[in-house]
Amino acid sequence: MGKLDGRVAIITGGARGQGAAHARRFVEEGAKVMITDILEEEGKALADELGENARFMKHDVTSEEQWKQVVAETENVFGPVNILVNNAGIVMVKEIEELSEAEYRKVIDINQVGVFLGMKCVLPSMKKNDSGSIINISSINGLRGSAGTIGYDASKFAVRGMTKTAALEFSKYNIRVNSVHPGPIDTPMIASEETRDIVKEMAEGIPLKRVGTPDEVSKLIVFLASDDSSYCTGSEFVIDGGVTASN
């Protein structure tokens, strides 16, 4: 038996990277998964690979209407939602004096507003099950600052605080809400040209002397989605190889 047998999950930003790793692990553990992303071709390919227990929807997480459509279609195909993994996010590396208002707002809209809308829109579905687990992907940048990433840092600090508020409000429905704070993980997001040097420098200072893998994060996500974490809510789960241990 899998740890997520019979559970229905939505994973945003699930077409590649950490999101795709989470989707694969969830299906292996017995869940039915709605994968959402703006990357339509990659998302469809992943859903096809995973078989009948996975579906894909193109989804802009900044749109409340699209969130409602995702929840409705997930219920239609699989049933009421048990698990939401708010994984979609972007990073933009620019110092404050170079960053435009539009660029800043784009990061906030995806990383912060997208999480708010996800929690708001999935709540009615989870209430039908009288339980649920919401996992908001923050970052170690939600615990400390980093030069050149003000929009990302602001949004990830916000996700940390929003998680605690939602945990308090949703507890009466037996819905748990936790945040996950990865350090550098080997995904397309950190492999871009603009972040490569920053990640290389950061990796040299990691106590475990390497970046993490998406599968390592997925194991933590499964724990939080399953009954193994039944007394965990409003908490921060750091997975960073020891980066923040001395902070």
The catalytic residue positions are 152
Q: What is the 3-state secondary structure (H, E, C) of 85-105?
A: EECCCCCCCECHHHCCHHHHH
Cα 95 to Cα 170, 184, 198: the distances in Å are 37, 20, 13
What is the sign, positive or negative, of the torsion defined by CA atoms of 201, 206, 207, 209?
Answer: negative
CB contact at 8 A, 100 and 52: no
End-to-end C-alpha distance for the chain, whole angstroms? 40
CA neighbor of 196 nearest in space, from 183, 186, 207: 186
Given the structure tokens 């899998």, which residue do they identify? 2
| Pure H helices in the chain | 17-28, 40-50, 64-77, 101-108, 114-129, 150-170, 193-204, 214-225
Contact 103/148 with Cβ under 8 angstroms? no
